[in-house]
Amino acid sequence: MKSKNNAWGAAIAAVAVLLGGAGCHSKDPQPLATAELPAARVSVVPVDARPFASVEEVVGTIRARQRTVLEAKVSGRIVNLESRLGHAVKAGETLVQLDASELVARVEQARVLLEQATRERDRFQGLLAQRTVSPQEFETVESRWKVAKAGLSEAETLLGYLKVVAPFDAVVSRKLAEVGDLATPGRPLLELEVPGELRLEADVGEALIDRIRVGQVLTVRTGADSRLQGTVAEIAPAADAGTRTFLVKVDLPSGTSVRSGAFGRLGVPLSETLVMRVPPSAVLRRGQLEYVMVESSGKAQLRLVRTGRVLGDGVELISGVENGERVVVTGLRELVEGQRLEVVP
């Protein structure tokens, strides 16, 4: 890396002349000799080389951990649907009411048939005690009574299906029907989800799936570029035959403000490398040139550098400095190459 610095000697000298003129802010066109400049009070930090795991991001969708689609179990016209989008509902609360006239009549019919079968069964029971009917005739009448009783139970059960209730405390996320629509079995009416309990669902390719395991903590980046730490909850054991990807579900922290259906990116770790980083305030740019000031023997030494990624609160330095060297982070714009430095905390 020292050889690269020597190769840039001419460029450094040119930048140093420019910086000398800009740093003293003098009206005299001749640059002030560095020996005459007072010592600059600056803060310095060492170049920090840390292990950094490179990642590949996989696109996914934010969804509620617990959600359900409500459907009617019987056909009927919707006569009441007061739920609205975002409406909070309680477990057992009636959300959809269907027309009950047809099933009410069916229940009444089943009740009458059961009453008739009960009277006939009671009569034959008395005749059986008097030995005027055979046991086989009584069993036939009793079977008809059992069928009538089961018919009434079925009709009353269907009557209960005219009310669609919330299975748990949730909010209405989608409304797929209106009053007057015909509800049929299999047709979605409402979609509910539990707010604040979210997860990222992403389809991960087979080249990356072996780098993920259940319980692993991974970084999730959302649309506002906010970063969350999620825990891998589920990994599909088999790949989708069409896309050759595996569904991965990553639970996000409770109370996350991201909305379900939003866009997200899952960071899958690839490999770990040693990366040198400095605070962003240590790097200045002049056109296409990037440079830092290194504290060397108590003086400012200009170094041309090449930056890379922004890593949290630091900037990656690909070349131009060595690990452990101290770079100036304050008063950088007023410094001149070779100026004496007074390092302050």
Give the pTM: 0.59
pLDDT given at position 121: 87
Q: Are residues 172 and 201 in the same domain?
A: no
Q: What percent of the chain has pLDDT above 70?
A: 89
Residue 11 clears pLDDT 50, i.e. is over it:
no
E strand or H helix at 170, and its extent?
A: strand 170-175
Which stretch of 8-17, 53-62, 85-94, 237-246 has the lowest confidence by average pLDDT? 8-17
33: which 2 tokens?
A: 């000799």
Give the CA angle between residues 173, 178, 183 to the nearest 5°.
100
Q: Are residues 208 and 60 in the same domain?
A: yes
pLDDT interval class at 9 (50, 70, 90): very low
Residue 8 clears pLDDT 70, i.e. is over it:
no
Kindly report, residue by residue over 259-294, the tens digit of the pLDDT.
888 889 999 988 778 888 899 988 998 888 999 999
Residue 49 clears pLDDT 50, i.e. is over it:
yes
Residue 172 clears pLDDT 90, i.e. is over it:
yes
Q: What percent of the chain has pLDDT above 90?
A: 36
Torsion of CA 210, 215, 221, 226, to 10 degrees: -160
Q: Are residues 164 and 199 in the same domain?
A: no
Residue 17 clears pLDDT 60, i.e. is over it:
no
pLDDT interval class at 224 (50, 70, 90): low
Q: Are residues 261 and 301 in the same domain?
A: no
Kindly report, residue by residue over 245-255, the tens digit of the pLDDT.
999 999 999 87
- Which residue blocks in 161-229 are alpha helix, DSSP H? none
Mean per-residue pLDDT, 35-41: 77
pLDDT given at position 225: 59
Long-range CB pairs of 25-29 (<8 Å, 24+ gap) are none
Q: Are residues 281 and 257 in the same domain?
A: no
Q: Are residues 174 and 78 in the same domain?
A: yes
- Which domain-ending residue is among 225, 246, 271? 271
The chain-wide mean pLDDT, for the chain, equals 84
Q: Are residues 100 and 171 in the same domain?
A: yes
Q: Which domain holds residue 158?
A: 68-192
**CATH assignment at residue 290:** 2.40.420.20
Q: Are residues 61 and 207 in the same domain?
A: yes
Which stretch of 21-25, 202-206, 235-239, 329-333 has the lowest confidence by average pLDDT? 21-25
**CATH assignment at residue 131:** 2.40.50.100
In a 3-state reduction of DSSP, which class is residue 196?
Answer: coil
pLDDT interval class at 166 (50, 70, 90): very high
Sign of the torsion angle spanned by Cα atoms 323, 326, 328, 329: positive
Q: Are residues 185 and 223 in the same domain?
A: no
Q: How far apart are CA 220 and CA 248, in angstroms?
A: 12
Kindly report, residue by residue over 228-246, the tens digit of the pLDDT.
899 999 999 999 999 999 9
Taking a C-beta distance cutoff of 8 angstroms, is the pair 305, 319 a contact? Answer: yes
Q: Are residues 51 and 75 in the same domain?
A: no
**CATH assignment at residue 205:** 2.40.30.170
pLDDT interval class at 217 (50, 70, 90): very high
pLDDT given at position 227: 84
Q: Are residues 263 and 307 in the same domain?
A: no
- Which domain-ending residue is among 170, 192, 214? 192
pLDDT interval class at 345 (50, 70, 90): confident
Q: Considering its fold, how many domains does the chain have in total?
A: 3
- Which domain-ending residue is among 166, 192, 218? 192
